[in-house]
Amino acid sequence: MLPVLLKLKLATTAAAGLAAAASPVPMPAEVLALTVVERATAPVEVRLFDENLQINATVGIRRDGTMDEATAAEVKHLFRCRQTNRERPIARRTLAMLADLAEKYEPRPIEFVSVYRVQHGESPTSPHRDARAIDFRIRGVSLVQIRDYLWRTYSEVGVGWYPSEQFIHMDSRPTLHDTAWTFLAGANHYHPYWAEVARRPASEAAPVAQRHRTGV
Ligand SMILES: [Zn+2]
């Protein structure tokens, strides 16, 4: 994933700078490499707030969405189906996106509304039923900002914007088409304009916006 590669590159640059500045003796290449790998694989501190139970939890999730066994059990429990109390591990790619958001907006807590849902009435094709989806918001960050970041940064995803309910739905959907929607007045509206804008190359943004303004 691009963000991880970018971070690795930044970490390399930072570590090299640090070694040059702080140490009179050049840091051996192996030590430097180890430092970089350690930084890239160290878990991200993910601060969570359970909106339903109004409790805080902090868990360490690696950027690739993996974690140690104890954390995996804790995460599975936190994200359990609230109707049935059933637990299931959440998809690794979804957790990787969660770790990315936690790091990007650190130290703001991620307020989760709903994750695994397996109760009667939940659609058989729901990504929540398949433990791939999270409904959430981040305190102090606009939904629009989170929505556009996710849609611009990731592929094989579903991103839903729920402005009335005040949350973002995100899911990973390998092998399925990217899907963006806005939920308004009780219905999903697919192919929203914001999704088109968020993925438009920066160089095209201005002229198209002008055309749009004068055209209507
Ligand atoms: Zn959802």
> Cβ distance 153 to 3 under 8 Å?
yes
For the stretch 52-98, pLDDT in tens is: 999 999 999 999 999 999 999 999 999 999 999 999 999 999 999 99
Position 10 scores a pLDDT of: 46
* Count of C-beta atoms within a 10 Å radius of residue 26: 10
For the stretch 1-58, pLDDT in tens is: 444 444 444 444 444 444 445 555 667 777 777 776 766 679 999 999 999 999 999 9
Distance from the alpha carbon of residue 4 to the mean position of ligand 1, in angstroms: 25
Distance from the alpha carbon of residue 114 to the mean position of ligand 1, in angstroms: 7
Distance from the alpha carbon of residue 155 to the mean position of ligand 1, in angstroms: 17
Q: Helix (H, G, I), strand (E, B), or coil: what is residue 89?
A: coil
Cis before 107? omega within 30: yes
Q: Helix (H, G, I), strand (E, B), or coil: what is residue 100?
A: helix
Distance from the alpha carbon of residue 133 to the mean position of ligand 1, in angstroms: 6
> Cβ distance 85 to 92 under 8 Å?
no
Distance from the alpha carbon of residue 197 to the mean position of ligand 1, in angstroms: 22
Where helices occur in the chain by DSSP H, the ranges are 2-22, 29-41, 69-78, 92-104, 143-153, 193-198, 202-215
| Interacting residues of 132 by C-beta distance below 8 A, sequence separation 6+ | 90, 91, 93, 94, 171, 172, 173
The rounded mean pLDDT for the chain is 87
What percentage of the chain reaches a pLDDT higher than 70?
80
**Local confidence band at 214 (pLDDT 50, 70, 90 cut-offs):** very low
For the stretch 191-206, pLDDT in tens is: 999 999 999 988 775 5
